[in-house]
Amino acid sequence: MHYYLIVALKVFCLYHIYKNRKPYYWFFVIFLIPVVGAVFYIITQVLTSRDVDTIQKEITSIVNPTKKIKDLEKKIEFADTYANRLDLADAYFEIQAYQNAIFNYEKTLEDEVQNATYANQKLVQSNFEIEDFEKVIFYAEKIKALPEFKASKEQFCYGLALQSIGEIEKAETELKSIDRPYSNYSERLELAKFYLSHDKTEDGQALLEEISNEAKYMTKQNRRLFRKTITEVEQILKTL
């Protein structure tokens, strides 16, 4: 595998040198020091300064996410705009600092000129993560009439929140909307658990068997991605 990657890298660089009429000494660099030379060529001759800057920022945000937060907070100090506040909220959401994310998403709602749909969606998800189900319901009901709410992560959170306050029939209606073949495996597992916990064993078992059968036709990538869900499905089926 590594051999083919090196060959592909060399071929790309050689083609780029020829097509863009780069100095001929680059051919010797690629042939004499293939990997290092190719990487150096791509960084210096293929990527623009803007590309390099973007890559550096992305690497920094992954390695040191708090730096990204601090940079965004400085931007807000300079200009507390809707866009800057939303970026900060998203940054907090990415590192699972949900309380801070909620604070900033709610601040964006103060700008009534902007479309509040995205902020409300993220507020549903954020409050669900901290198990503030009353708030989940509050924000979900602001967007539940929108077409994008149907079969969404927000509707799933809404259904579980309704279950938590004892609204079982309403919860089932919302949760059933995510039951779509060959998708939403984790959510459908939760729906199956919902059925089993509310004396609908046949429905729960049927859904688990459906997921189990679908798993047999998954790609290797999807089987790895949903391994935990599939394993739990099989374990529950053994107990029924």
Name which of 131, 134, 204, 208 is nearest 172 in CA terms.
Answer: 204
The distance from CA 196 to its chain's CA centroid, rounded to whole angstroms, is 29
Tens place of pLDDT for every residue, the chain, 240 residues?
Answer: 556 566 777 777 777 777 777 777 777 777 777 777 777 777 777 665 455 455 455 545 554 567 778 888 888 888 889 999 999 999 989 888 899 999 999 999 998 889 999 999 999 999 999 999 999 999 999 999 999 999 899 999 999 999 999 999 999 999 999 898 888 999 999 999 999 999 999 999 999 999 999 999 888 888 888 999 999 999 999 998
Helix axes 117-129, 153-164, angle to 10 degrees: 50
pLDDT at 2: 59
Taking residue 78's Cβ as centre, other Cβ atoms within 10 Å add up to 9
Could you tell me the pTM of the whole model? Answer: 0.71
pLDDT at 192: 95
Name which of 53, 44, 9 is nearest 23 in CA terms.
Answer: 44
pLDDT at 11: 76
How many Å apart are CA 89 and CA 85, to the nearest integer? Answer: 6
pLDDT at 4: 59
Instruction: Spell out the SS3 assignment of 201-213.
Output: HHHHHHHHHHHHH
pLDDT at 71: 84
